[in-house]
A and B are shown apart, each in its own frame.
Chain A
Amino acid sequence: MTMTERMVWASLVVFPLVGIVYFTVILTQAADRPVEDVSWVVPMLWAWGALIVFIIVGTIASAIATGIRAEVAGETPEFEEGDVRDREIERIGNARAYTMASVGGFAATVLLMIDVDRFWVANTLFLAGLLAGVLAAGSRAHAYRTGL
């Protein structure tokens, strides 16, 4: 498994996990107060931070795992950013993510048109971003597993 593929599988776990934790925090608050009073900015910043840290730490951990695996197998480690197949698979994932992000952007625009609280707009965009990430990783993992 290349570094690129390893990160795809890790994303498939981390993106939903971050989403579950974030929305659990938000919905727990929303259960006993109006959504206008829900404190969502700080949890969302934490969620973004978690995803950024995951990308940095995940890349480093994946590089270490790739090195150890190659050392054990007596091979040259494949640290590069993938090859033509990885790029084709990435394009598939990006296309799906772009579609999801577009839907999220459209939904947020509609919400702004009907003048709802910014809570709904921000969380719609955040959810669309998370789903785009999950969709991209899922599509790529499927392509790695079953082929192009």
Chain B
Amino acid sequence: MGRTTRVTNAIRALRFARDEMTQAELAARIGVTRQTVIAIEQGRYSPSLEMAFQIARALEVPLDQAFQYPDEPA
């Protein structure tokens, strides 16, 4: 088990940019627990595509601004 994805995210920074939205507020908007938001922010949980869209919409940014997938190393 453990982290199996290279997906990163900017949720924490985007929350602060959105009037310092709390983790609890974001969790309530997307219908998950605060612990799940914490896990996503820390990269311990990769959300489904649907949840990723919900997060991006709650933060009012495009999906690829909330989540990033780095290029393969050369």
Contacts and interface: CB of A to CB of B under 8 A. Distances in A.
Interface of A: 1-2, 5, 75-76, 78, 80, 82-86, 92, 139, 142-143, 146-148
A78 B33 contact: yes
Given A142-B1, A143-B1, A148-B1, A83 B44 contact: no
Contact of B24 (A75, A84, A85): A75
A148 B28 CA distance: 22
Contacts, number: 50
B65 to A, nearest CB: 23
Interface stretch (B10-18, B35-43, B55-63, B66-74): B35-43
B36 A83 contact: yes
Contacts of B48: 84
Nearest to A147: B44
B45 interface: yes
Given A147-B45, A148-B44, A148-B46, A92 B35 contact: no
